Amino acid sequence: MPVSASSFITHHSSLLQVSDLHAGYGPIDVLKGITLEVGEGEIVTVLGANGAGKSTTLMTICGVNHCRSGRISFAGQPIHNHAPHDIVALGISQVPEGRRIFPRLTVRENLEMGAFHRQINGEELERVFGQFPILKERQNQLGGTLSGGEQQMLAISRALMARPKLLLLDEPSLGLAPLIVARIFDIIRQINSQGVTILLVEQNANMALHVAHRGYVLETGRIVLADTAKNLMNNEQVKKSYLGG
């Protein structure tokens, strides 16, 4: 039986609430009434196989995909009928699957695109460059010439330029070498320690559960498990399906 989404938010006020969400593409319902919650300051992960609806969940939260029914609230405000640029302005940024940087723009121009909704100053760029020194070195290089790991760092940095309260991360380890994956997850911890709440979709369940406070398991558009990350790591069903146990 699924566990109540709010059962484990004990020390955090709720920042994101998704209630009975239905969404999909064309006539196909991908999300079939999912409910989840992210407390302020948490890292919450969503696990599931390909096609379970993980990316659809993030795309619907950030307004790219249409919410057919249900409710999405951010900081107590309903956002399920908002345009994506308005959702960014409220404080939600997404790092999409596959990074989707602008390959023909420079690193610096990619970062500036992350703050499209407001004016930026040199201080903000320097703050990002301080966190990702390699990007400062390559700021005049075209985004498409970066390595996969560098592109992922650029995609994360671009999202941070919007000053998000909530960062949506979609498969940040996809296609990266193990050493780079470890670096990306260190960055995720660091970002969270600086006060950014994170909702993480990740096929590398082991890494995801090691950085997350709580998690949800999504199967064919439905939440089938919700628990603390520690309990999910010890759950026999999760071990068998996602941890190779």
Q: Which domains does the chain have, with CATH numbers?
A: 14-101+163-242 (3.40.50.300)
Q: What would the pLDDT profile of 100-156 be if each residue is shown by its tens digit?
A: 888 899 999 999 888 776 667 667 788 888 888 899 999 999 998 999 989 999 999
Cα 212 from Cα 183, distance rounded (Å)? 16
Helix (H) or strand (E) holding 12: none
Per-residue pLDDT at 1 = 37
Cα 229 from Cα 79, distance rounded (Å)? 27
Per-residue pLDDT at 12 = 66
List b or e across 30-57, with b for residues whose CB sees 16 or more CB atoms inside 10 angstroms: bbeebbbbbbbbbbbbbbbeeebbbbbb
pTM: 0.90
Q: Which residues of the chain have pLDDT under 70?
A: 1-12, 117-119, 121-122, 245
Per-residue pLDDT at 20 = 97
Helix (H) or strand (E) holding 56: helix 54-61
Instruction: From residue 135, give the alpha-carbon distance in Å to each of 114, 138, 177.
Output: 14, 5, 19
Helix (H) or strand (E) holding 100: none
Per-residue pLDDT at 119 = 67
> How many residues does this entry show for the chain?
245
